[in-house]
Chains A and B, each alone.
Chain A
Amino acid sequence: MTDGFTLTNATFAYDTKPAVRSVSLQLPPGKLYGLVGPNGCGKSTLLDLLIANRKPQAGEVEYQGRSLNDFSRRDLAREVALVPQDFGINFAFTVMEVVLMGRHPYIPRFGMPQSDDMLKAHKAMAEIGISEMQDRLVPELSGGEKQRVVVARSLAQDTPVLLLDEATSNLDIQHTLEIFKVSRRRVEEEGKTVIAVVHNLNLAAAYCDELIFMKEGAIHCAGPKEEVLNAENIRAVFGVESRVQFDDFCGAWQVSFRY
Chain B
Amino acid sequence: MLTKVRDADLEKVIGNLLRYGVLASSVVVLAGGIVYLIRHGGQTPQYHVFKGEPEKMRNPVLMWKAMLHGEGRPLIQLGLLILVATPIARIAFSVVGYLLEKDYLYAVLTVIVLLVIVLNF
- Same complex for A and B? Answer no
